[in-house]
Structure 1
Amino acid sequence: MIRPFHTVKLAIVLFTLLWWLCGGSSLANHIVGGELELVHVQGFRYNLNLIQYFDQAQSANPGPEPQLLAYIYRKSDNVFMRRDTLFLTDQATVPYTNIECSLDELKTLRAFYTREIELLPENFDDPNGYYVVWERCCRNAGIVNIVNSIGAGQTYYLEFPPVVKNGRPFINSSPSLFPPLSDYACVNQLYYTDFAGVDLDGDSLAYTLVTPLNSSALQALPIPQPAPHPEVIWSQGIDLANVIPGNPSLRITNRGFITVKPEKIGLYVFSVLCQEFRKGVKIGEVRRDFQMLVVDGCNPEPPPNLKVRVPGSLSFNSVIRDTLVFRAGDNKCFDIQVTDPVGDKNIKMRAVGVNFEGEVEGIFTLKEGYLATADDIFNLQVCLSKCPYVSEGPYLIDIIAADDACPLPQMDTVRLAVIMEPPPNQAPRYVNQTSKMINLTLDEGISYSLPLEGIDLDDETMVLDIVASDFDPEEWGMQVAIGKDEAGSIEAVFEWETGCGSFPFGVKNQFDFTLRLSDNDFCMDNSRDEIQVSLTVNLPVNNPPELSTTLGSYDLQIPVGTNFSFPVTATDADGDVIDLIAVPVNFSFEDYLINFSPVSGPGEVSSTFSWNLGCDLIDTEVQDYFELNFVAADNDFCLQTETAVISLKINVFQETNESPVITVAGVENDRVTINSLEFIELEVTSTDPDNDFLSIDLLDGVPLPPSETFEFNRVEGQGQAKGFLRWAPECFLFDEAREVSYKVSFLSWDTRCPNPKFDTLSIFIDLIDRESPGEFLPANIFTPNGDGINDTYSIPDLPVDNCDDQFQFFKVMTREGTNVYMTRQRDFVWNGDKLPSGVYYYMVKYSQRSFNGVLSIER
């Protein structure tokens, strides 16, 4: 056996030392890679697994966490669905391909986490599926093909389909992925490995290289985030076509076989995407990140020499140029001879199909041998199966001899091209169906059955299948009930229930498929008989729903500031359950505070659309056109959904706005005069030409008279507002002057948005403290005799009051000084109180002065 030179160990030690020096204990810079798995258990229960790979050589880093949290999101809108705690149940070191090539400095630990979870169909039925996410930081230090590897994490990602489709359980397990890399690669030497996994459901798998995903945060265990996820940044000169530079650079086939002939040493990270297909439709995917260490100093000795002697030839040859042709009864054995230029080699033999898939290892009766010296010869005979591996043309088989060199075996290959005649086989055939084409239309709800009878003249057992390309017959309830099943004879009935209560024929009602009768021939040569069937389900008539509103037009002009609402009604003549929704086209209801509640119900439903086009919401310079659709969809028994749509177009505009006008009654040229000790009441009115809602108030910032009796209260009104200024000025306002003036300002504004208008008006109130005359002569006689002439006495021209001298009272006295009448009212009217005729005395009393005189009463 050839062991690696000391330079290999030295290179690995240097890389390990660099990783350890750069690593941080909190972030654990030793993540090699990993992946997620979702494995069906029973019903809607699944095992959610996470496999994590650690660089075990970095002993300074902590080991795997005892548990972790995985998050599940819905793929269509990235909505969080649930999170689950997975527990560490197993740890094991990844084994080398050849244990003799192992090095203590290169160890990978596989940590396995798991948890059984239940995915209920009412929560996990979205047709776009879901995805599982877990994040971890950080990767190994010293990775050469990405930027800042010590600060880069990994996002573990798995997509899975809904657990139900068309109302039936959809059973699926994710791929169980390929074994991880356990070997190192060497500069300028071909590295190869089978990185393919298996699928428990028999789904097809396809592999591609993708850019590794980073974690969302530079912390050991970030909270797993929804998509999209950040990617790592490739180093200069690195991309998906050149992940590991070489000739060839890193490649992976669609079937998962990895090859690379690296040209530089280093630690390289790469990511493989495995996509899962069922009947040609992608249903899931899983990613795996891993690392490859490339070292120098690997100098394996020459590979073994492989030669083959085919039937009819006398010599062994390393190249077989002719195609081998075997008839059914021919001997299909040939001889193999393996030698080695050095010796001391363990030799393993295997066969690989080149242009077909399938197991071919079984053609060897002896697989292993040992060559002690260069003169030893390893001989064995190989016999091919009597059945060809492909139905038409030659099939290719590579015969491979591999030694036990490090880090990977050295190989020699001889390719054989073989054409083989299979044993004779007569195809089975239907005996009760003369037509090979059935085209029928079936009324919804009937039970359809088709008897089938087949025979096989070779007395082989048969299989009767329903084969379709664009649907799953089992999911749609199609089945073949087998009655008689014997060698050479089969009887069965194709059965199908077409009731809409079981299957959504409104979604699909036309089905093309094949009833295939095939025998269980030893060579499985696909001998068969087929009936082409086209069945159409005739669905009952479904009347579409009808939509109506109270609007007269669906192209509206609405002014800003309008409170806009109307009902929307949907009816269905069939009494089906109706879903009524409103769908904005070029805006969102939330941004404009629009209310419309979706409703659902049988026969007839209604909901109100309401929108207050407030000035704080609408800026017509940003957007003034709004389009939305009202949609009514019925839930027909057969899911033959019909819809009705009303498209509403709304143009929002700003109305012109006239300013209100303020007037004050009794004021000329904006001035009004008040005498001292008088009361004033002024009517203030604002009128709006547009009949908008108005307010009137005193204008802020203009000083008011320093008077407790000055009064004006804010007033409001639609189209017109009216208020009153009331004031009885106090004498202290005059100070030493006899005249003083005060400015009073009013503000009126409307509420028209978005451009309210206003008006202001200022008036001046002039206060005058008038002087009273020094003397005055009132009447000195009246005749209260009832003749209507001078029957009462009054003094209409009393001296005016002022702040210095104010009227107190008026009284009448006899000559003896007895008071016969007194009043404190300036506007008194006295009828004499039946006093006799005569001469009396009067007094007009002011606060500062008195006026006395004689008053005669004559009757």
Structure 2
Amino acid sequence: MKKYLYLIFFLAIALESVASHIVGGEIELTKIKNPAPGTTHEVTLNLYFDAINGRPAAEDISITLTFIRKRDLARVGEAVCQRVYRDLIKYIDPACSKGDLQTLLIRYQATLNLPEASFSDPGGYAIVWERCCRNVIITNIRNPSSVGMVFYTEFPPLSIANNSPHFKDVVADYLCINQNFEMDFSATDADGDSLTYELITPWIGYATMGQPNPISIGRSSYPEATWVDGIGLNNVIPGTVPLRIDRNTGVLYARPDKLGLFVFSVMVNEYRAGVMIGRIKRDFQLKVVDCKINLPPQIMVRNQGVNAFIQEGEIINLKKGDKKCFDILFLDPDISQKVTITARGVNFDTKKINIPSISNVVIQNADTLKNSFCLDECIITKNNQAAEFILNIQDNGCPVPQVKSYRMKINLADADNTRPVITTSLTESPSVMYGDTLKFEVFGNDIDLDTLSMSGAGRNFNLGSLGFSFPSSKGIGSVQSTLQFIPNCEAVRQKQVVLDFVARDLRCGVSNQTAYSVPVTIQSIPNNAPIVSTTLTDSVVEVILSPDGKTEVKFEVEAVDSDKEMITLGAIAEGFDLKTASMTFQEKEGISMVNSLFTWVPTCYLLAGKDSKEFVVKFLTQDKACDQKQDTVSVKFLLKNNLSAENPLKPFNTFTPNEDGINDYFTIGSIPEDNCNRQFVRFEIFNRYGKSIFVTAEKDFRWSGDKEPSGDYFYVLYFTDEVYKGVIHLVR
């Protein structure tokens, strides 16, 4: 007996953990706007729970969401979300709540770090959570208390910046039998993506009473709920108008004819540039109850001062100057309810409807109430279509307010806005020569006499950079401004440019504009190129080097311009530097004619060990006309080493210094001229004891023997690259 009691006790504890009264909910994934380090996203699960029949012990303190890669259904991560919010849903009118029907909103959240590299698969990802069980009193599916619910959201790879659509708050959980019901069940998208809505069969997944909170794994599809007999996707809530959802607006509407608790699922598909990038599913349930009939309020509109009412859909034509004011007459058959009237522009700014505050007006009797509104004088519609707007009257009846819409269309005779016109004083396409001035008038006109402005710009260039000036102008109905053009050289080089003039009108904050283009041709003054010349007789100059640095090249360079323009004269060394080569030439500038002296004192260093080398200098003159014509002349220098006989002659080696006038002194004879390879250093004589008795650095020396006695003496002849020795016989 004790064993059976223990088993019953154990089962009771286990059943407490089964959330047998889950109403619905959804999962949302959003990017954090200003994330802290190590965080990127926030994930939220909104869970709706039956507060009357549910067991608080079955509420989860935390939940674990699973991330799935859609391509191969691989499990790529999880998120543990803590409970952060718990409260009853908020009705539009708190008085609409029913004591026997209360729905809790329980919110779970977690802050995540989702690396883009880890969520990069083009097929996208899904977030899944499964939980058992559904509300036991659900009417339209089989075995609701033993089947679970699948919370499911898809998102694209994180390289695509995206936020899940965000559902609006639920504002009702019941509707009245045989009464019209309408509730905004839509979502908003922070990224501006397009959303579509559809009713789908609820998913029950794989959660059971025995395993109420299974670990979710990737699946290509999930088991669906089984409808009871007579119920299907086309009549989830049966009625004269079965439950429907507007594909584009997400508004639920129905007129039920059967009591009960009905579960349904809405799938929101998210599109960007025509491609679906994600979807989010919300499950919910609505109870059909027998309640007091809430009749919709009524609204009628007429022109002020006219008795006949405007029929909905009728187009009202107002002439220019007609008063744009209307009377609103409204009532609500339900005495003591409150009504609110709002207006919304369909194809123009709602702020242009000057409607007084009609909010929470208490209906005290069956009398018709009256108010009025006017349209702003400045209404501009797209493509000058009829101004279209909607008046909504809404009561505060339960479970959700009854709304009556009244659509109006008004043709405004003064709405047409004619584009301004641009003309010029030109009679033909303008052409201007450098040195001249182009001037013409530009006119802007607007037959509507709107505020008008006119400006000009260069196509792909700045007006001032080429010498144009065009002051912007403003006026009422007409404007005028003068274009003046004094071409500079940059304009001449362009040869032709295009001017773009724009006139913009302004009416009621909306602008029309007209563009007008004028091509302008720019011509240069005929120009002769300057001529450069030198005083040389030949363009090739041979230069024999002297190692003593006395070799010098010098000539004049002259430039002449027959147009008597400013010219420049300069020199360009081909493949070397003028200064490094010891060449001197001063660049000059002048009018009509300039000249400059070229000088060069070459050194052996320039040959770099070779016997000869070429140096080319190009002399260039250029005028300062816009087309900058020029002339050049080149001079080629052949720099050569002095390669005359390099070996010294052997001198006559006997002399008799007896002053008879014959062979009285010793001389070395003709020593070759120095060159870059060899230079004379000195001549030295030694006696037979090796003592130096005569030294000279002069090539044309004479040695008279001084007072040395007859005998043999030795000499040494020094060059930079070689030394010669010999014997001298002195005979007295």
Please tell me the TM-score bracket, short chain as reference.
Answer: 0.5 to 0.7
Please name the residue that 2:393 is paired with. 401
| Distance 1:405-1:216 versus aligned 2 partners, 3 A rule | same
Q: Deviations over 1:567-601 (max 9, x none)?
A: xxxxxxxxxxxxxxxxxxxxxxxxxxxxxxxxxxx
8 A Cα contact 1:204 1:278, kept in partner: yes
Q: Deviations over 1:417-463 (max 9, x none)?
A: 2334547374899xxxxxxxxxxxxxxxxxxxxxxxxx99967899x
Q: Distance in 2 between matches of 1:427 and 1:214?
A: 65
- Which of 47, 53, 70 is 2:48 aligned to? 53
Normalising to structure 1: TM-score of the pair? 0.45
Please name the residue that 1:28 is paired with. 19
Please name the residue that 1:556 is paired with. none
Q: Deviations over 1:104-134 (max 9, x none)?
A: 2211111111111122122111112111111
Shift of 1:85: 0.7
| Distance 1:62-1:351 versus aligned 2 partners, 3 A rule | farther
Q: Distance in 1 between matches of 2:16 and 2:373?
A: 56
Please name the residue that 2:311 is paired with. 319
- Which of 26, 31, 55 is 1:40 aligned to? 31
- Which of 262, 274, 278 is 2:268 aligned to? 274
| Distance 1:281-1:98 versus aligned 2 partners, 3 A rule | same
Please name the residue that 1:349 is paired with. 341
- Which of 267, 280, 285 is 2:279 aligned to? 285
Shift of 1:187: 1.2
Q: Distance in 1 between matches of 2:201 and 2:94?
A: 32
| Distance 1:375-1:185 versus aligned 2 partners, 3 A rule | closer
Structure 1 residue 294 corresponds to structure 2 residue 288: yes
8 A Cα contact 1:215 1:222, kept in partner: no
Q: Distance in 2 between matches of 1:49 and 1:273?
A: 17
The residue type paired with residue 142 of structure 1 is: I
Please name the residue that 2:357 is paired with. 366
Structure 1 residue 308 corresponds to structure 2 residue 301: yes
The residue type paired with residue 309 of structure 1 is: R
Shift of 1:283: 1.3
Q: Distance in 2 between matches of 1:522 and 1:275?
A: 41
The residue type paired with residue 211 of structure 1 is: T
Please name the residue that 1:258 is paired with. 252
The residue type paired with residue 273 of structure 1 is: M
Q: How does 1:557-576 map to 2 (within 5 A)?
A: none
8 A Cα contact 1:318 1:414, kept in partner: no
Identity over aligned pairs, percent: 32
Q: Distance in 2 between matches of 1:134 and 1:405?
A: 36
Q: Which runs of 5+ in 1 are unaligned?
A: 1-20, 165-169, 430-454, 463-485, 489-516, 531-859
Q: Distance in 2 between matches of 1:357 and 1:237?
A: 46
Please name the residue that 2:196 is paired with. 206
Structure 1 residue 87 corresponds to structure 2 residue 77: no
Q: Distance in 2 between matches of 1:256 and 1:524?
A: 34
Structure 1 residue 246 corresponds to structure 2 residue 235: no
- Which of 191, 215, 221 is 1:223 aligned to? 215
- Which of 163, 177, 186 is 1:187 aligned to? 177
| Distance 1:280-1:267 versus aligned 2 partners, 3 A rule | same
Shift of 1:362: 6.2
The residue type paired with residue 295 of structure 1 is: V
Q: Which runs of 5+ in 2 are unaligned?
A: 1-11, 423-443, 456-471, 475-501, 516-732
Shift of 1:331: 3.5
Q: How does 1:827-838 map to 2 (within 5 A)?
A: none
Q: Deviations over 1:285-318 (max 9, x none)?
A: 1000000100124333x4433221125x521527
| Distance 1:152-1:356 versus aligned 2 partners, 3 A rule | farther
Please name the residue that 1:68 is paired with. 63
Per the alignment, in what secondary structure is the counterpart of residue 247 of structure 1? strand
| Distance 1:357-1:318 versus aligned 2 partners, 3 A rule | closer
Per the alignment, in what secondary structure is the counterpart of residue 122 of structure 1? helix
Shift of 1:405: 2.5
Please name the residue that 2:226 is paired with. 233
Shift of 1:30: 1.0
Q: How does 1:126-137 map to 2 (within 5 A)?
A: 126-137=121-132
Could you say what the CA RMSD is over the residues aligned between the two structures, in angstroms? 3.7
Per the alignment, in what secondary structure is the counterpart of residue 32 of structure 2? strand
8 A Cα contact 1:33 1:290, kept in partner: yes
Structure 1 residue 123 corresponds to structure 2 residue 118: yes
Per the alignment, in what secondary structure is the counterpart of residue 62 of structure 1? helix
8 A Cα contact 2:348 2:380, kept in partner: no
Per the alignment, in what secondary structure is the counterpart of residue 109 of structure 2? strand
| Distance 1:359-1:237 versus aligned 2 partners, 3 A rule | farther
Please name the residue that 2:375 is paired with. 384
Please name the residue that 1:575 is paired with. none
Greater shift, 32-41 or 384-393, is seen at 384-393
Per the alignment, in what secondary structure is the counterpart of residue 226 of structure 2? coil
Q: Deviations over 1:155-175 (max 9, x none)?
A: 1111111111xxxxx311111
Shift of 1:47: 0.7
The residue type paired with residue 276 of structure 1 is: E
8 A Cα contact 1:179 1:197, kept in partner: no
The residue type paired with residue 209 of structure 1 is: L
Shift of 1:209: 0.9
Q: Distance in 1 between matches of 2:269 and 2:388?
A: 27
Greater shift, 518-527 or 91-100, is seen at 518-527
The residue type paired with residue 41 of structure 1 is: I
8 A Cα contact 2:23 2:285, kept in partner: yes
| Distance 1:335-1:224 versus aligned 2 partners, 3 A rule | same
Per the alignment, in what secondary structure is the counterpart of residue 139 of structure 2? coil
| Distance 1:196-1:411 versus aligned 2 partners, 3 A rule | closer
| Distance 1:103-1:160 versus aligned 2 partners, 3 A rule | same
Shift of 1:136: 1.2
Please name the residue that 1:105 is paired with. 100
| Distance 1:130-1:427 versus aligned 2 partners, 3 A rule | farther
Please name the residue that 1:159 is paired with. 154
| Distance 1:360-1:280 versus aligned 2 partners, 3 A rule | farther
The residue type paired with residue 191 of structure 2 is: D
Normalising to structure 2: TM-score of the pair? 0.53
| Distance 1:524-1:134 versus aligned 2 partners, 3 A rule | farther
Q: Distance in 1 between matches of 2:383 and 2:313?
A: 22
Please name the residue that 1:338 is paired with. 330
| Distance 1:178-1:309 versus aligned 2 partners, 3 A rule | same
Shift of 1:382: 1.9
Q: Deviations over 1:338-384 (max 9, x none)?
A: 2344632311112356x769867965321225345325443222223
8 A Cα contact 2:21 2:54, kept in partner: no
